[in-house]
Structure 1
Amino acid sequence: MPIYMNLSKFVIGIPIGCEATVSKKFSIEETRLVKLPLEVVWGLVSDTNRLNRYIGLFPVNYTPFTNKAQQLIRKAKGKAYGLLEVEWDENVFEWVRDSFYTVERNYTKGPVERVIWKVSVVKVDEQETNLTLTGWFEYRSLLGKVSLKKGIIPQLLQTFSYVEDAATTKEQMPTSKEQKAIRVEEHVLVDAEHHLKGIALEQNLVHALIKTIRTESDEAVTSIQPYRWAFQHGFTRQQAVRLFLFASEAGILDYEWSLMCPNCRVAKDHASVLKDVKKTVHCDLCGVDFELDFENYVEMTFQVNGAIRKTNKATYCINGPTNSAHTIGQFRIAPRSTTHIPWTSIPKPMQVRVIKHNFKVPFTYQPNMESSKIHIQPNGIVEQLLMQSSDISIVNASDEEYIVAFEETKWDEYALTAREVTSLQLFRDLLPAEVLAPGMQIGVGKLTILFTDLKDSTQLYERVGDASAYSDVQKHFTTLGNIIRSHDGTIVKTIGDSIMAAFSSNIHALDAAHEIQSSVSSLNEMLNNPVTIKVGLHEGPVIAVNANGVLDYFGRTVNMAARVQQQSTGGDIVLKKKLFDEMGYIADLGKITEFTTQLHGMTSPIQLVRLEPLLESLD
């Protein structure tokens, strides 16, 4: 049974007040032992959208963040029990990962005045965790009191049932209650499974996806990250991306492009196709407009098609810790105050950032440090860095509340970025209409561009005639295309008898180049006339554009790759010496020759490396 308490001092830092007003204020606190590891319990309770749906709270409509009374809030509204309209201002969540989170709601419409809710987890041992729910409530009328004690509070205390239900379910997702809500069109799903198995995908790979669609929670089948799914199910990233692209092309999965804010790293907009991607997106939380690029800020995610399974797309909460997975701690710092934060040092690259203002400094790992302090003023953070310590003091010298986040600087390792997926041949083969809007230019970040060319091709056409030469050139395109595809690259375009290819990995590009030269002997056995191939590559930032309905790349890197390829004499691979040294390539590349030359259109000489594979040993 829940334990109700009237506290005489404070509940999570908020004074209850005097006896004259206690009739409209009360608090609760209850702790239960859960037979799950702390990290698992935290993962369950910090997913506040899933939690609120499970415990029976109503869907919520949120506005963007705004500043009210010097505080950052979202306005929210919904219908309790489908009848009673309620509206409130919701403050930014506070939390420390694997420890607690707190949310404050101040109601502007409805019988309830104010709610502050805290969820805490404490490790007991490797397999057990204490889960504590603490709440402070204020109401306006008798209806508010009844609504709280008979409705809202019992629903909030269902958090225990949610976690206990998960504890009895394999891998905690979905819970038994969530399983009962799953509705799958079985005949459509069976047809989908047969289709995927019919295109030479591994049966265990297909089976894992079908099982995900059939049995896992709504969260697990919406906004799916292929890399995360691969990790969870024991497959390679390449297997997962190939599966998801085929499933998308077949209409089993739908995909969308999430447009991520570079500061808070939350999706601020979505596009169903690349043509709808905007170059500039606004983040209400950070208060900035930012330019997108393919390297980090455009992510491809997937969800099950609605004809196969209906999912609950209603929003129940969007402000919880799971929505900012890179943020380890987030705190509200009152105006003209000093806040002390107990902290356990974490050996990760991190930063301190003031949300909305985007002041930031490094948050440096320092074991066994007792205390540290930063001062935040209206024009920024005074110190150049903050050392991690067991007692961190944050001084707010302004007249507004600051939201301070302790964040990991590393981007989500499971994000399938537009940079990566658009550099795959399979993506271009299955989704050829996926191009940017005409006139749109977006930075892609760093790619490796590879050019090939047939040596003396003009003489080939004149010597054997157009028909015979054209046939050989097409066979050569097919062979090289298969090699490029096998090394996770894509053919961007062909120009005469030349190929321009792109790779997200320079190692994959060099592997492909090496295999191209190594395969020439077997290629020539299929041709009427033997060929010699010249190969060059270069790495650097590129710009993505729509070139006559094709996703193309332009920029200095592309020009440099073309110039480098012109230094090839045939049967070799040419690249910058600096790039070759950085790669630390360990495969046997045969003869390696360094040379310096002046490239056409370049102002200064450049150091290059010529690699000549031992082709005779690879026949």
Structure 2
Amino acid sequence: MTETETLFAALRQSADETIVDMFERMVRDAPDHALNKMNALEIATKEGLDEEQVIATLLNAVGLGMFEMTWNVMCPSCAGVLSANKSLKTLNSAQYNCAFCAAGYETTLDNLVEVTFTVSPRVRKIAAHSPDELSAAEYYHQIFWSSAIDLPGDVEKLLGEVTLEMVDLPPGERAILSLQAPEGTLIVFDPVTHAAQFIEVKGEETGERQNLSVMFNKVQVPVDTVALRPGPLRLALENRTDGRVLPAVWVANAALDAILTRRKPVLTATRLLTNQTFRDIYRTDTLAIGQRLKILSLTFLFSDLRGSTELYERVGDLTAFDLVNEHFRLLQEIIASERGAVVKTIGDAVMATFETPDRAIAAAIRMREAMSDLGAERQHQSLSLKMGIHEGSCLAVTLNAQQDYFGQTVNIASRVQGLAASRSIVVTEQVVENAKARSLLETKGLKPTPRSVALSGIADKVSVYEIS
């Protein structure tokens, strides 16, 4: 048995066999580019597989050293990768700038960071493992662009439609390009150094040759714009780095817009942080101590087992301990199946996160039913949960040696849970205003009852809804 076969056999011990078989076929038969920056959601859709199971399989494969996981900071406008990171710990900039778009973006895990997977060289060597050997077109395809962009098959032909010239420039070399500059905006851009020069071409056409020099080095400078007239242009390019650069002269036109706006769903950092398999594997190794990463929207669910102290008194320590443990097992199972993750348990309480409010509500309804079933099964009808849900922005942090969350959203969610009576789910206005959450409640015939409450530590009254 080869090492690769041994690794796939080991992977079958922790992942769905059908999905493992699919990845084994990919490693054996797929073209190189299909095994680089793999988009877990795209693979699941294409193969008709469960997204969470595909993600879990890839995460377990990373743990076995079969795949490598990368956290790509990507530009929302052009889908270019601004920074590729093997760990969230190296995302240490409050803002990332895209020279190609001449724009800056605040670092958030919702829409700026995607997670992709690449086959390890120990399993199969692919072209992307040696990016300096890729053609210019394939470098853009496999290294510069994120998995969010939906490119057609012939990338070289595509680039030919939106670029005037593309050069492979070795270290220390210079190149002279003679162009006929058309009216409009041109962008001289290098995907290796992420340097750009904008050229605004307007006015009366000239027959005289215009000259422009662009140098590429490792020093990041603000994007500059020069004004030229339509006509002949002598463009001098100089590579002052110790590696090759791949400058191209782009034409900012409708064809380029059509390329950059073709998008696919991606596995965001926020979604991965709310994945139970990820938390189980990387519980203590996600963020650096003191690191804080912003999330624009995350949904928190807090639950507490009602009357657990009285339960211990009534049925005894051993029986109560067994019931509480079974309650934790059921809750984690339901939370994971609704694409959520348990952040921590506090006594008999659970703190969980979900990417969207509808998933949290679906989990809460199922959790409530599961407690009723457990109580009936064990002949303890008093088993019930008090639950609270809130959605908003927060910070991903490390607390007590594990990945956690901090902010007012967390505080409100915790306090809202304290408002819940036995078997009730209390949610905030932000949660019920979510379109998918409203649809879910309507489908289940549930009508939340509104009320306005004062919460400790919150200046203004908060609108909450009780789902009885």
TM-score for the superposition, normalised by structure 2: 0.71
Structure 1 portions without partners, runs of 5+: 1-185, 342-354, 360-373, 376-396, 613-619
Query: Matches of 1:538 and 1:411 in 2, distance apart?
Result: 33
**Cα displacement (A) at 1:247:** 1.9
Aligned counterparts, 1:31-430, within 5 A: 187-199=2-14, 201-203=16-18, 205-280=19-94, 281=96, 283-286=98-101, 290-312=105-127, 313-315=130-132, 316-318=134-136, 322=141, 323-324=144-145, 325=149, 339=183, 399=227, 404=252, 407=257, 412-430=263-281
Q: 1:128-174: per-residue Cα shift (whole Å, max 9, x none)?
A: xxxxxxxxxxxxxxxxxxxxxxxxxxxxxxxxxxxxxxxxxxxxxxx
Letter in 1 for 2:72: S
Letter in 1 for 2:398: N
Q: Tell me if structure 1 keeps the 8 A contact 2:302–2:349.
A: yes
**Cα displacement (A) at 1:358:** 13
Give the structure with higher Rg (CA): 1
Query: Matches of 1:440 and 1:578 in 2, distance apart?
Result: 27
Query: Matches of 1:463 and 1:405 in 2, distance apart?
Result: 74
Query: Matches of 1:284 and 1:466 in 2, distance apart?
Result: 63
Query: Matches of 1:250 and 1:587 in 2, distance apart?
Result: 42
CA shift in 2, pair 1:457/1:302, >3 Å = same
Residue number in structure 1 paired with 2:428: 576
Query: Matches of 1:523 and 1:591 in 2, distance apart?
Result: 25
Q: Tell me if structure 1 keeps the 8 A contact 2:372–2:384.
A: no
Query: Matches of 2:393 and 2:199 in 1, distance apart?
Result: 26
Q: 1:495-544: per-residue Cα shift (whole Å, max 9, x none)?
A: 22111100112221111000001111222256585422101101112210
Query: Matches of 2:465 and 2:197 in 1, distance apart?
Result: 48
**Cα displacement (A) at 1:187:** 1.4
Query: Matches of 1:358 and 1:450 in 2, distance apart?
Result: 51
Q: Tell me if structure 2 keeps the 8 A contact 1:472–1:528.
A: no
Q: 1:526-575: per-residue Cα shift (whole Å, max 9, x none)?
A: 65854221011011122100112211112121112112211110111111
Structure 2 portions without partners, runs of 5+: 152-157, 165-177, 186-195, 204-224, 230-249
Query: Matches of 1:294 and 1:215 in 2, distance apart?
Result: 33
Letter in 1 for 2:452: T
CA shift in 2, pair 1:356/1:533, >3 Å = farther
Letter in 2 for 1:438: I
Query: Matches of 1:537 and 1:410 in 2, distance apart?
Result: 35
CA shift in 2, pair 1:448/1:200, >3 Å = same
Residue number in structure 1 paired with 2:301: 450
**Cα displacement (A) at 1:418:** 0.6
Letter in 2 for 1:298: V
The answer to which of 483-492 and 546-555 deviates more is 546-555
2:268 is aligned with 1:440: no
Query: Matches of 1:448 and 1:528 in 2, distance apart?
Result: 33
Q: Tell me if structure 2 keeps the 8 A contact 1:443–1:543.
A: yes
CA shift in 2, pair 1:314/1:603, >3 Å = closer
Q: Tell me if structure 2 keeps the 8 A contact 1:279–1:440.
A: no
Query: Matches of 1:602 and 1:541 in 2, distance apart?
Result: 16
Q: Tell me if structure 2 keeps the 8 A contact 1:480–1:516.
A: yes
Residue number in structure 2 paired with 1:598: 454
Q: Tell me if structure 2 keeps the 8 A contact 1:263–1:358.
A: no
Residue number in structure 1 paired with 2:394: 542
Query: Matches of 1:604 and 1:546 in 2, distance apart?
Result: 29
Residue number in structure 2 paired with 1:554: 406
Query: Matches of 1:543 and 1:188 in 2, distance apart?
Result: 41
Aligned counterparts, 1:437-586, within 5 A: 437-461=288-312, 468-525=319-376, 530-577=382-429, 579-582=431-434, 583-584=437-438, 585=440, 586=442
Q: Tell me if structure 1 keeps the 8 A contact 2:274–2:355.
A: yes
CA shift in 2, pair 1:561/1:483, >3 Å = same
CA shift in 2, pair 1:452/1:400, >3 Å = farther
Letter in 2 for 1:187: T
Query: Does the residue aligned with 1:542 lie in a helix, a strand or coil?
Result: strand
Query: Matches of 2:419 and 2:136 in 1, distance apart?
Result: 55
**Cα displacement (A) at 1:232:** 3.1
**Cα displacement (A) at 1:400:** 5.6
Q: Tell me if structure 2 keeps the 8 A contact 1:274–1:434.
A: no
**Cα displacement (A) at 1:595:** 2.4
Query: Matches of 1:259 and 1:439 in 2, distance apart?
Result: 20
Identity of aligned residues (%): 28
Letter in 1 for 2:450: E
Q: Which has the higher contact order (CA 8 A, sep 6+)?
A: 2
**Cα displacement (A) at 1:449:** 0.7
Query: Matches of 2:199 and 2:447 in 1, distance apart?
Result: 52
CA shift in 2, pair 1:200/1:289, >3 Å = closer
The answer to which of 586-595 and 432-441 deviates more is 586-595
Give 1 or 2: higher strand fraction. Answer: 1
